[in-house]
Structure 1
Amino acid sequence: MSLMISVSGIRGIVGESLTPKNLTAFAMAFASLVFRQKERCGKNHSGKKPTIVIGRDTRPTGKAIGDLVSSTLLLCGCDVVDLGIATTPTVELAVTGEGADGGLIITASHNPVAWNALKMLNHKGEFLGAEEVDELLAIAEKELFVHAHWDRIGTLSQNEQYDELHIKKVLDLPCIDTTTIEKEQFRVLVDCVEGAGASIIPRLCTELGIKNIVEVACGGSGLFPRNPEPIEENLSTTIAALKESGCDFALIVDPDVDRLALLCEDGSLFGEEYTLVACADFYLKHKIGAVVNNLSSSRALRDIAAKHGVACYSAKIGEANVSEMMKEVGAVIGGEGNGGVILPELHYGRDALVGIALIVQAFTLWRSENGGGSLSEFRRTFPDYFMSKQKIVLGSTSRAALEKLFTDIASHYHSAAANRLDGLKLDFADSWVHLRPSNTEPIIRIYAEAPSKTGADELASELKHEIEQRVAGIESHE
């Protein structure tokens, strides 16, 4: 497996693709990029060193990588503020809170424990844009690194206050009323998969007014007891624990706490796609404005937007792309269908803490209006769609050939509205399908959604067959 490089940083298996050599190289390249950006903005004339905030999830390799990266940044002439174990959204908030010039998060998000990564943030606490990534890669490739003279190396400081500051910012949102939540006397299971949320999520729940919490995998060991991605096939033990505990619902986060999944009282999934849908429906009652998701997210958000009389926009897949479109259209809430919620009122990053506060408050409001009720009943109040996800492994098919293939398919399905922003999305009257080449693997991902599971599966399979036939024809002539 080669090193994966994207707008969210570099990612790989520690000791294989992610080595001390490339960790050091990319840390040096990031420091050099920060120096360049300060120079371009005219902020370097004061002689003040750049400040970079770092934080990490709980993986066993995190501290060693953090120490290596910190030392590298110091020797490049950067001051470093180390948050220790911190969630991705907490580090994002700390970058702006410190007035820093950038941030590094040592986490491979939902990847297994053997993986780790450097997620890179700009001075706004947001992931680097495509142009910034290109510049970073050019610096790394040409080794255009900055080095500090012995008397200009940076200083390291520790700051462990940002968990509390993060929680406070969430609680201070005008739409959050902890007294109403406390009255519900919820009993809630919290599963942090031994990740960075192990401390902050139970504390947030307590301060929201949830006094009865059953903690699962909240020790913070970093040794994930299951595949850490919070999707249905990985949650059988959590579902069993929920049923045994008799809790009203379960809150589940990934290791770096930018995604939120929920289980209803009966063990059924609320649905990753519906985390954002429920949060948006509630938040739009307090603040009206456009909403944004990505092209592979559920149509349910569009229905909710129509209900509130606001526009719904879809961006290319990727948090940075969603955030950028949110700024362009002035969206008040957005995110992705993987359980990621972005609330600009707090910051432009996916934030499971925000998601928890909004959805618990939304459920509380619904119960007060309906004289009680379960989370599964609350879930049934939203538009119901079903999704199918498939993929095709490619051989030698080039990107140019894929572009022509997508054009041909769009012409074949002339009754559908075609969107070529990110691969090909075909919008039909009551369903859609999105065909998207992976940026890191030789595959085409197929996402389809319809009013029934059968309909979604059939649509995805039909397009898979269409693509396979055309790809076979292309590759037989190459």
Structure 2
Amino acid sequence: MNIQKIFKNYDIRGLVPKEINSKIAFEFGKGFASYLGNFGKIVVGRDIRKSSEKLKNSLVDGLIHAGCDVIDIGLSTSDMVAWSVKNLKADGGVMITASHLSQEWNGFKFFQSDGRIYGMEELKQNLLPLLKNKKILNSRKGRIENNEITEDYISSIISRIQRINGKKSLSGMKIVFDGFNGMGSIVVPKILKRLNADVIEINTNLNKGFAKPPEPKEETMKEISQKVLELKADLGIACDGDADRVLFVDDNGNFVPGDETLIFAAMKYVNSNQNVVFSLDVSQKLVKYLEEKKRCRVVYSKIGDFFVTENMLKYKAVFGGQPNGHMKDPNFVLYDSGPFFATFLPSLLSYLEKKLSELRRTLPSYYKFTKSIHHKNPKVAIKKLIKKVKEKNCEILSELDGIKFNYQNSTFLIRPSGTENNLRLIAESEDEESVKSGLEEVIKWIEL
């Protein structure tokens, strides 16, 4: 097998056992230990997939045979690994998960000593050459320590959020939580109940496997929307498989786009002249609203957690995220935390004494449309498109990844897919009709 195939855009993942198996896991453990100098402490966690425990055992075996000590935190969310690395002063961490993908997939996320995830280019250049090196095994065998960090992690979330939003209880707030049978199920209900919320859980049984694809988005959140309406709940919350993403349903049962959640959080975090970092695919209309209201600066990043984090550090941002539900508070941990922001938003609503639907009405109206366009050579198409956009004297907002520009009262982001011969297109305006009028012409600019 060509092992480079499992090095994806944002993490390492593949089909089990064809692409990811115990042998591969051992090699990754051995190689990561060697990359870190064959010593130190590594935090390891895993999700609930059937293959995860076996893969974890093999990865740990590789780590200790190469000389590293291992802190095994067991079943965990991805951000629990990142948080543990930072707070236990470990030298790195590994989470065994395939995030929002189905059961037949699995993989690895590698963390740095400050809780940041490693970029894939760095791992390809430095880890890949070590995977087949037979000389890595160390005469000193590392030790394994089991560490139950859940209570400390929960206390840390509550403490940080109460510093931001005050110590107001969630008493009287009815919340529906959909765990998608994933790792958010082990902590999110506990945190909310500890703050005295009335929590109704759906799909939180970890023994049932994924009842549906563990990826919260409008199409997969119909069940929680219905439950919110049926129970007259204040809001619904859903996390993906490893709980590094969180999305919401308001008190009217309506799906809340992640763009809006980013703005609600940023409005609380940011002050005048401070920076926040958002990925390019965020709503331009909401960005403009935030900048005008808070007199802050929004810095655009390429799509992907690693890129958002690096820009947050570069620009000393107080908050960052992506509209697919990834959000991070750098003072909690430099990785996206679904459980943290699953607690943050109800706490913010309690502080403001508002319903989520009321908060949404304070935002400007906008319509967002997404489309994939097949192209035999997306990168060449983007180069030609950029030339056309400049010929048309459009206002260019970014060329970080493809091109983001304004044309005919609409904003367009067109970029090459990282995995397929497709162009990803996002069009946004005040209403659907405005988007359609500009969209037809812009698509003609792309040479199919």
TM-score, normalised via structure 2 length: 0.92
Task: Provide the residue aligned with 2:282 in structure 1.
Answer: 297
The whole-number CA distance in structure 2 between the counterparts of 1:412 and 1:390 is 24
Give the 3-state SS of the residue equivalent to 2:243 in structure 1: coil
Match of 1:158 in 2: 146
Match of 2:32 among 30, 33, 44: 30
Contact 2:184 2:339 in 1 (8 A): no
* 1:435 counterpart = 2:409: no
Provide the residue aligned with 2:373 in structure 1. 392
Cα offset, 1:307, TM superposition = 0.5
Q: In the alignment, residue 293 of structure 2 is paired with which amino acid?
A: K
Cα distance between partner residues in 2 of 1:229 and 1:130? 22
Distance 1:166 1:305, change over 3 A: farther
Per the alignment, in what secondary structure is the counterpart of residue 65 of structure 1?
helix
Following TM superposition, the consecutive aligned residue runs of length 4 or more in structure 1 with deviations greater than 6 angstroms are: none
Pairwise CA distance, 1:403: 4.8
Q: Is the 8 A contact 2:85 2:115 kept in 1?
A: yes
Mapped contact 2:28–2:62 kept (Cα < 8 A) = no
Alignment size in residue pairs? 443
C-alpha distance in 1 between matches for 2:9 and 2:373: 24
* Residues in 2 aligned to 1:118 and 1:58: alpha-carbon distance in whole angstroms: 14
CA drift at 1:28 = 2.5
The letter of the residue matching 2:311 is M
Aligned counterparts of 2:368 and 2:95: Cα–Cα separation in 1: 32
Secondary structure of 2:296's counterpart equals coil
1:381 aligns with 2:362: yes
Contact 1:410 1:418 in 2 (8 A): no
Do the aligned residues in 1 keep the contact of 2:165 with 2:348 (CA within 8 Å)? no
Contact kept? 1:30, 1:136, Cα under 8 Å: no
Q: How does 1:202-351 map to 2 (within 5 A)?
A: 202-210=189-197, 212-221=198-207, 223-284=209-270, 289-299=274-284, 300-351=286-337
Match of residue 188, structure 2, among 191, 201, 204: 201
Q: Which residue of 2 aligns with 1:475?
A: none
> 1:294 & 1:354 partners in 2: Cα distance?
20
**Residue 76 of structure 1: which of 66, 72, 95 is its match?**
66
Deviations 1:147-178 (A, max 9, x none): 112xx1111111112x2222212211211334
| Inter-CA distance 52–362: structure 2 relative to 1 (3 Å threshold) | same
Which residue pairs with 1:370 in the alignment? Answer: none
Percent of aligned pairs sharing the same letter: 26
Q: Which of 161, 165, 173 is the equivalent residue of 1:176?
A: 165
| Matches of 2:220 and 2:295, distance apart in 1 | 37
Corresponding residue number in structure 1 for 2:94: 104
**Aligned ranges 1:48-63 → 2 under 5 Å:** 49-63=39-53
Structure 2 distance, partners of 1:314, 1:178, is 33
Q: Please say if 1:132 is aligned against 2:122.
A: yes
Question: Whole-Å Cα distance in 2 between the matches of residues 145 and 139 of structure 1?
Answer: 12
Amino acid at match of 1:10: I
Q: Which residue is equivalent to 1:40? A: none
The more displaced of 376-385 and 261-270 is 376-385
- Given that residues 4 and 440 in structure 1 are in contact (C-alpha distance below 8 angstroms), is that contact kept between their aligned partners in structure 2? no
State the AA in 1 paired with 2:143.
T
Tell me which of 343, 352, 357 is aligned to 1:366. Answer: 352
**5+ unaligned residues in a row in structure 2: which ranges?**
none
Cα gap change, 1:141 to 1:80, in 2 (>3 Å): closer
- Deviation larger for 331-340 or 386-395: 386-395
Cα separation, partners in 2 of 1:414 and 1:50, compared to 1, 3 Å: same
User: Runs of 5+ in structure 1 lacking a partner?
Assistant: 37-48, 368-372, 472-478
> In 2 relative to 1, CA 76–451 (structure 1 residues): closer, same or farther, beyond 3 Å?
same
**CA–CA distance in structure 2, aligned partners of residues 460 and 4 of structure 1:** 35
- 2:82 matched to 1:92? yes
RMSD, aligned α-carbons: 2.3
Residue 135 (structure 1) shift: 2.6
1:148 aligns with 2:135: no
Report the alpha carbon displacement of residue 116 of structure 1 after superposing the two structures with TM.
Answer: 1.1
Q: CA deviation digits over 1:425-473, x for unaligned, max 9?
A: 1134743111111222222111122111343355445433432xx13xx
CA contact (8 A) 2:382 2:416 kept: no
Paired AA for residue 204 in structure 1: I
In the other structure, the counterpart of 1:46 is none
